[in-house]
Amino acid sequence: MIAAGLGKRRRSTRRLRLWFDREPAGGYHAGMPDRLRITRCRILTPFADIPDGEVVFEEERITGVGPAGKGEAAAATTLDAEGRVAVPGLIDLHLQGAGGCDVLDGTPQALDTIARTCARHGVTGFLATTVFRPEGDNRHLPVAAAACRPERQPPDGADCLGIHLEGPFIAPEKRGMIQPDCLGPVREEVLTELLRLCGGALRMMTLAPELPGALEMVRRLAAQDVVASFGHSAADYVQTVAGLKAGIRHATHLWNAMSPLHHREPGPVPALLERRDVILQVIPDGVHLHPAILRLLAGLLGPERVVLITDGLQALGLEDGRYTYNRQPIVVSGGTARSLAGTLVGTTLGMNRLIQRYQGFTGCALAAAVRAASFNPACVLGIQKRTGSLESGKRADLALLNPDFTVWKTWKKGRLIYEQPAA
């Protein structure tokens, strides 16, 4: 329950644009469409925890956030949140599929289904995460790239913010469920081809820095404004440090598909933890990382350096059972997916549920768990000035959570994109 899992409310030093930063009444443009005023909600901005607040937005922008009764009362439409929790629209940097569809399906309909399923879980933006086949069929990539265009964003679903490629420059022994035909040596011509196929939509690439040529690839990706993320790697401590010096500032599903921590062979994890400018993805289902490890990470990293991801598959939002991933059978139990051989593949839990689990396992403030699923991923993508937190002037991307962490309503750019069906 949200009410039972609040923890201590810590005061943030970050200055927010709340009611006292707003324009006076005369600053609103006459003749604009009616504003929506959401009242009687607990607001996690996530830098402030406002127990009885209200949010006002007009068209696509938030125009006021703050304690109830402190701002302008006039609004054409008022929505009583009845004590629910208002959070920024959630952002998933690692989503391969949802609602029965996969990015690999390679159809606009599949991307739309994924986007609509995201909205059910409070997500307003995601990276379409997939693979590149150096010698195979990659028709899914132009389709995913097209889904990122503003005119192609579904009116009733989350925005596809770009493409995240896992590979092809990863270690074969750490490939997990990524198939061998999706791997290849680091070559300039391969990067040229995948950039062409992604049509400017590639935002993140997971790669192994120990591979020959990988460090120069990290620099090339940075020049293309692509986030180079450490992952699916057999790198040791020294090789990881070299990757960080080359420009890696992110890591894909920490501890999964990388060498373990050992007191004489530290591996990559200490190197990633040491760099205070590195933000780390975690899958907080309690299976990919033991709850004790999640607690350790929360204490070491604080609220600034954790990004929650679903590593979601086609079965995200569906019941447990048997499904496929990249032509391979998988079994989902308790929201966690495994291959028939037992290899972990990802989750089918929505981001709202993973916020609940992360807060429950770590005991962190709920605002910190929300931040890890909203503002922090926005920072990784460099879009934190327009979304990722509830502040005046930002996009009206937000969700209202019920006491059981289900989603009551989700808005994207001020448009209602999901509403929980009436009981």
Reference 54, options 350, 281, 392, 283; nearest CA is 392
Q: For residue 305, what pLDDT is reported? A: 98
Reference 352, options 47, 72, 54, 91; nearest CA is 91
Helices (H), 148-254: 188-198, 214-223, 237-246
Q: For residue 423, what pLDDT is reported? A: 75
103, 129 contact by CB (below 8 A): yes
Unique residue bearing structure tokens 């926005």? 378
Unique residue bearing structure tokens 């010096």? 245
Averaged over 247-276, what is the pLDDT?
96
Domain boundaries, the chain: 3-88+388-419, 90-381
What does the pLDDT look like over 210-257, one tens digit per residue? 999 999 999 999 999 999 999 999 999 999 999 999 999 999 999 999
**What's the DSSP call for residue 421?**
P
What does the pLDDT look like over 345-380, one tens digit per residue? 999 999 999 999 999 999 999 999 999 999 999 999
Reference 234, options 171, 184, 178; nearest CA is 171
Burial letters 59-81, b for 16+ CB under 10 A, else e: eeebbbbbeeebbeeebeeebeb
| pLDDT exceeds 60 at position 28 | no
345, 273 contact by CB (below 8 A): no
Strands 85-88 and 77-80: unpaired
Q: Selecting from 2.60.40.350, 3.40.50.300, 3.20.20.140, 3.40.50.720, what CATH number does the domain 90-381 have?
A: 3.20.20.140
Strands (E), 81-147: 85-88, 90-95, 97-98, 101-102, 123-130
Fold of 3-88+388-419: Urease, subunit C; domain 1 (2.30.40)
Query: Which residues are marked as active site?
Result: 311
Of 8-22, 169-183, 261-275, the poorest mean pLDDT is in 8-22
| pLDDT exceeds 50 at position 381 | yes
396, 61 contact by CB (below 8 A): yes
The percentage of residues in the chain with a pLDDT greater than 70, rounded to a whole number, is 90
Q: Measured between alpha carbons, how far is 266 from 264 in angstroms, rounded to an integer? A: 6
Of 3-12, 268-277, 312-321, the poorest mean pLDDT is in 3-12
**Same-fold call for 3-88+388-419 versus 90-381:** no
What does the pLDDT look like over 41-96, one tens digit per residue? 999 999 999 999 999 999 899 999 999 877 665 656 899 999 999 999 999 999 99
Structure pTM?
0.92
Q: For residue 422, what pLDDT is reported? A: 86
